[in-house]
Structure 1
Amino acid sequence: MKNKLIIPVAGLLAVSFCSVAANAAENKGEISEKTIDMKMENKLIKKATEIITKLREDGYSCSQATFLGICQALGSELTEKQLKALSAGFRGGIGKTYENGTCGALSAGVMALGLYTPDDNDKGIALAGELFKHFKDTYGTVKCGDIVGQYQFTRCTGCCLCIAEKAVELLQRENIDLPLPDSITWNEAVQSKPQKS
C-alpha cells in the first residue's frame, strides 16, 4: 500500500544538518547567508537521521548508513541485506578510492532518489542534480578524499545526515508516493485533505 506524501513546503526543513556544515564554512567566509529560517520538525527526516546516526555508531560506512537510513525511514520492499549490498561498493568514494571517488553518502542519496522515482527517470535525474549541487555548495567538493583530507573523518557522519535531510526534502517536495512503514507518523501540523464524495 502506498501513501501520498503531502507536506507543505514551509515544513520541509528539519533542524538542518546541512546548516551545521554551511555555518562552519560561513565562519570561514566560504558560504554567505546559508542560515535556516524554517526549523519545523519533520518526522521522516528525524527518523532517517536517527537511523543513520545509530548505523554510523555501529560502524556502517557512509554509503550504507545513508542508504539504509533513508530507505528504512521512507519504507522499502528491499531487505536490509539487499540495501547493504547495493550500497557497499560506494564506501570510501567508490571502492575505497578516497582521493578520486565521490562521497559515499552522496552516491547513496542519488541511489535513494532513483529508488523512489522508478517511473520517472527524468525526475530522478533532475533531483540527483539538485542533491549534487546542494552537497557541493555545502562542502565545497563532492570528493571523498577532499573531505577526509580536510577534516579527517570528523565530517563523515555530518555528510550522511546532510544528504538524508536533502534527499527526503526533495522527495517530499515532489509529492512522491512512498511505501511507508506503519510506524511512520506525519508531521502533526499537516491536516488531512477532505475526501471527495
Structure 2
Amino acid sequence: MELDSSKVEKKIEELRETKSCSQSTLMGLCEDTEYSQDDLSKIASGFSGGIGGTFAEGSCGAVTGATLAIGLLEEDEDKIKAYTKELFEAFKDKYTSVRCDIISKNGEDKTLCTECCVFAGKKVCDLINK
C-alpha cells in the first residue's frame, strides 16, 4: 500500500479538531484501509493523554497512534518492530521526549500536539513507502 503523505497530513489536521492525538494519527494513516473510522477511533481512544489520561506515565498519542498504524499497515513483524523503533527515535530526536506530559505540559498546553501528529504520520508514510 502506498500512502499519500500530503493526504495523510490533511486528514490528521482535520481530525485533530475533534479527536485525540492517538485517534487522529491512527485514523489519518488508516483512512483508506478495511478498518472503519469508528473502530480505529475506539482502538486508539485509550491512548489519549499519554495512555488513559495519565500524561506523566504515558507515551505521546502521536507515537502510540502511529505505532498502531504501522501494525495495521505492515505485515512483516520484523519490519513492524524496525519501523516502530525508527519512528520512536526520530520523534524523540525532534521533540526530545516521547512523554505526553513533557510535550503538552501535563495537557495544559497542546500547541505542539497537531505538529507531533503530523510528524509521526509523515514518518510512517516514509517508512511504509520504502
Relative to the length of structure 1, the TM-score reads 0.63
Q: Paired residue for 1:70?
A: 29
What is the alpha-carbon distance in structure 1 between the residues aligned to residue 114 and residue 12 of structure 2? 8
TM-fit CA distance, 1:104: 0.6
Question: 2:109 aligned with 1:109, yes or no?
Answer: no
Offset of residue 152 of structure 1: 1.6
SS of match in other structure, 1:106: helix
SS state of the match for residue 98, structure 2? coil
Aligned identity (percent) is 38
1:146 aligns with 2:102: yes
Supply the distance in 1 between the matched residues of 2:74 and 2:123 (Cα, whole angstroms). Answer: 15
In structure 2, list runs of 5 or more residues that go unmatched.
Answer: none
Q: Say yes or no: does 1:133 pair with 2:89.
A: yes
The one-letter code sitting in structure 2 at the alignment partner of 1:121 is E
Distance 1:96 1:103 in 2: 11
1:47 counterpart residue number:
7
1:159 aligns with 2:96: no
Larger radius of gyration: 1
* Matched pairs, number: 129
Which amino acid in the other structure matches residue 132 of structure 1?
A: F
Give CA deviations for 1:159-196 in whole Å, capped at 9, x if unaligned. 000000000110001xxxxxxxxxxxxxxxxxxxxxxx
Q: What residue in structure 2 maps to residue 14 of structure 1? A: none
Cα separation, 1, equivalents of 2:34 and 2:47: 21
Alpha-carbon distance between aligned partners in 1 of 2:11 and 2:129, rounded to the nearest angstrom: 19
Question: Pairwise CA RMSD of aligned residues?
Answer: 1.5
- Checking the alignment, whether the CA contact within 8 Å between 2:30 and 2:73 is kept in structure 1 is no
Gaps of 5+ in 1: 6-42, 174-197
Aligned partner of 1:86 in structure 2 is 43
Offset of residue 105 of structure 1? 0.8
Q: CA deviation at 1:98?
A: 0.5
What is the CA distance between 1:116 and its match in structure 2?
1.2
1:60 to 4, 16, 19: 19
Counterpart CA distance in 2 for 1:87 and 1:78 is: 13
Displacement after TM superposition at 1:149 (Å): 1.4
Task: Tell me which stretches of 4 or more aligned residues in structure 1 moved more than 6 Å.
Answer: none
